[in-house]
Amino acid sequence: MSDVRFAKSGDVHVAYRVVGDGEVDLVYAQGAATHLEVGWELPAFRRYCERLAEFARVILFDKRGMGMSERVPGATTLEERMDDIRAVMDAVGSERAAIIGESEGGPLAILFAAAHPERTVALILQGGEVRERKDDEWPWGESTVEEFEEYTARIPELWGSGRFFAYIAPSVGDVEWGREWLGRVHVNAATPASWEAFARMAFDIDVRHVVPAINVPTLIVHAVEDRVCHVENARYLARNIVGSRYVELPGGDHVPWFEPDQTLAEIREFLTGTRETRSSDRVLATVLFTDLVGSTARAAELGDRRWSDLVEQHHVAVRRELGRYDGDEIDTAGDGFFATFDGPARAVRCAQAVIEAVHSLGLDVRAGLHTGEVEVADGKVAGIAVNIGARVAAVAGPGEVLVSSTVRDLVAGSGLAFEERGLAELKGVPGGWRLYAVTGST
């Protein structure tokens, strides 16, 4: 069941989601194209918001005309979208909030903070832009008029391709799953025609005359090699917002989701006064490890390019099933996945679904699961339970879901059927472990 709700802003319904219940309200104005549900499917973005939610009540929304919010004719002004922020804040009972402005959401956050200091606790700009148009007066924009017109002419053919993913996250690179996710965000967020109207409006935004009017505490965070929004945008903001704090990060990621630790630490300290990183938690979790069987021989048979394409299809299929069964992807190394679940039955059914999904690609996968106490810290999961899960997967056969006795005992009554595989010695894990293969489910 979706937790997306709708606030009435004039005659328009604006979609929003609330994450966490921290003491500080934090409205997150994202960049240009958003969709609350599709965006949430990206593990890195979801974890970023959840870590913000450790100390804040995070309020996400789709701008009017975008994503899950009501479609409107043409483009909307910054002033209209500023009213949407007020409407969402009113809907969740927030009198005052910190505002994060990311990328194209930066000008919107700047205008709101300047116009409504009585409702703005603080302003945070991460990868925030000042002006998109590039010319002799402002050489740090995203494109010249000629480049912009060339881009808008190609919107219909580019829309849904996700080809700009590597620009927003060069630390990740030009990966198929990244393009696939961004493409789905775009096609669900807007149509090519409505996007062109939005892009033309955004291209004309210039908030230089608004910046000196900001009188709230301001934090500016920007990557020095940002390929979408030139770092001089941030340096301009830092020079012209009195008393602002400016943090220049290494690297070129336009969004902080994939390497979030320093950005999160800066925001936490700015809003709460303490820079402490996420404290480790010990929780009960079911760990799932999957691995492709016979990948070396298959790669030699197909050749590098065809094998690479097949592995990318495998990754898409696995991530689709993790999303269906509410699993959290922790790591992907080579041909395998490591994920966690808060329920062992869902984890087992996800493993079955993964094996079935990749079998249609002509691939065999082995899967291993164990349930135990793990340590969760800064998006990483560790502990002996993780080691056990990995070792269980290593002794599974092709197309087999192998589980520890702990998993088998916890899913009693779930309709899952098992066959005992005997007592096994797991490398690096003391004692013998009784393992069971999943043979069916109802």
**pLDDT tens readout for residues 297-345:** 777 877 878 878 888 888 999 999 999 998 999 988 767 899 999 989 9
CATH code for the domain of 40 = 3.40.50.1820
At residue 433 the predicted structure's pLDDT band, cuts being 50, 70 and 90, is confident
Q: Are residues 129 and 27 in the same domain?
A: yes
Contact 7, 91 (CB under 8 A): yes
Contact 183, 107 (CB under 8 A): no
Q: Are residues 259 and 115 in the same domain?
A: yes
DSSP secondary structure string for all residues of 21-49: --SEEEEEE--SS--HHHHHTSHHHHHHH
Report residue 181 as tokens.
């996710």
At residue 439 the predicted structure's pLDDT band, cuts being 50, 70 and 90, is very high
d(CA 99, CA 273): 17
Q: Are residues 259 and 296 in the same domain?
A: no
Residue 162 has pLDDT above 70, yes or no: yes
Q: Are residues 314 and 238 in the same domain?
A: no
Q: Are residues 261 and 306 in the same domain?
A: no
Pick the last residue of a domain from 272, 302, 318.
272
Mean pLDDT calculated for residue range 101-128 = 95
Q: Are residues 317 and 238 in the same domain?
A: no
Contact 313, 366 (CB under 8 A): no
Report residue 90 as tokens.
């009113």
Report residue 92 as tokens.
């969740």
- Identify the domain containing residue 80 by its residue range: 5-272
At residue 109 the predicted structure's pLDDT band, cuts being 50, 70 and 90, is very high
Nearest to 181 by CA among 337, 81, 42: 42
d(CA 431, CA 434): 10
CATH code for the domain of 296 = 3.30.70.1230
Pick the last residue of a domain from 272, 298, 319.
272
Q: How many domains does the chain have?
A: 2
Please write the tens of the pLDDT for every residue from 202-241. Answer: 999 999 999 999 999 999 999 999 999 999 999 999 999 9
Please write the tens of the pLDDT for every residue from 370-424. Answer: 999 888 876 678 888 998 999 999 999 999 999 999 999 999 888 999 999 998 8
- Report the pLDDT value the prediction gives residue 378, as an integer from 0 to 100: 67
- Report the pLDDT value the prediction gives residue 277, as an integer from 0 to 100: 52
- Crossing angle of helices 261-272 and 43-52, in 10° steps, is 20
- Report the pLDDT value the prediction gives residue 78, as an integer from 0 to 100: 82
C-alpha to C-alpha distances, 224 to 14, 32, 221, 250, 253, nearest whole angstrom: 34, 21, 10, 6, 9
**Mean of all residue pLDDT scores within the chain:** 91
Q: What angle do CA 47, 49, 50 make, to 5 degrees?
A: 60
Nearest to 257 by CA among 70, 84, 28, 68: 28
Residue 75 has pLDDT above 80, yes or no: no
- Report the pLDDT value the prediction gives residue 359, as an integer from 0 to 100: 87
- Report the pLDDT value the prediction gives residue 322, as an integer from 0 to 100: 93
Mean pLDDT calculated for residue range 146-151 = 94
Please write the tens of the pLDDT for every residue from 277-293. Answer: 545 577 889 999 999 88
Work out whether the CA dihedral 393, 396, 397, 402 comes out positive or negative: negative
d(CA 256, CA 258): 6
Q: Are residues 255 and 301 in the same domain?
A: no
Q: Are residues 234 and 188 in the same domain?
A: yes
Pick the last residue of a domain from 238, 255, 272.
272
Residue 64 has pLDDT above 70, yes or no: yes
d(CA 375, CA 382): 5
**β-strand pairing of 336-341 with 281-292:** antiparallel
**Could you write out the three-class secondary structure of 355-379?**
HHHHHCCCCCEEEEEEEEEEEEECC
Q: CB-hemisphere CA count at 13 Å for 389?
A: 31
Residue 135 has pLDDT above 60, yes or no: yes
Q: Are residues 250 and 194 in the same domain?
A: yes
Q: Are residues 74 and 198 in the same domain?
A: yes
Mean pLDDT calculated for residue range 26-43 = 93
Residue 429 has pLDDT above 80, yes or no: no
At residue 428 the predicted structure's pLDDT band, cuts being 50, 70 and 90, is low
Q: Are residues 237 and 313 in the same domain?
A: no
Residue 53 has pLDDT above 80, yes or no: yes
Report residue 82 as tokens.
């500023």
Q: Are residues 239 and 298 in the same domain?
A: no
What is the arrangement of strands in the sheet containing 97-102, beginning at the earlier edge strand?
Answer: 5-9, 12-19, 56-61, 24-29, 97-102, 120-126, 218-223, 245-249
